[in-house]
Amino acid sequence: MRLRPGLKEFANKMECVLQSHANLGRHWRHCDKAFLATRLLEEVGELVGMLLTEEEELGKQSKFLNYSDCVLGECCDVANFAMMIADNFGGIREKRKVNNAN
């Protein structure tokens, strides 16, 4: 299957974010549902807060990132926690094991 260009770019950004946090501690496979769900909700809250913040105001708060970079980063955080939940509890890992066995 060929990924759409936007999806491929987003997935690459998600992976960059994951790799930048790889040395921070435990792998998501060791996280329980409550932890991952709580973190997902926190990240959704951050994203919504950012979307409701005027671009000019956000620019004052962050000297290093522009608005679109901030939004993209928060979207990646939300998507990564959703992916972690899907991997741990949504059957993705089991499907990967079956596909690798064949």
Per-residue confidence of the chain (102 residues) as pLDDT tens digits? 898 999 999 999 999 999 998 887 778 988 999 999 999 999 999 999 989 887 777 666 666 578 888 899 999 999 999 999 999 998 776 776 766 776
C-alpha distance from residue 63 to each of 8, 74, 77, 80, 95 (Å): 28, 17, 20, 25, 43
Enclosing domain of residue 87 = 5-101
The Cα 82–Cα 73 span in angstroms is 14
Can you give the pLDDT at residue 96?
67
Can you give the pLDDT at residue 54?
74
Question: In b/e form, how buried is each residue of 71-84, taking b as 16+ CB within 10 angstroms?
Answer: bbbbbbbbbbbebb
Can you give the pLDDT at residue 83?
95
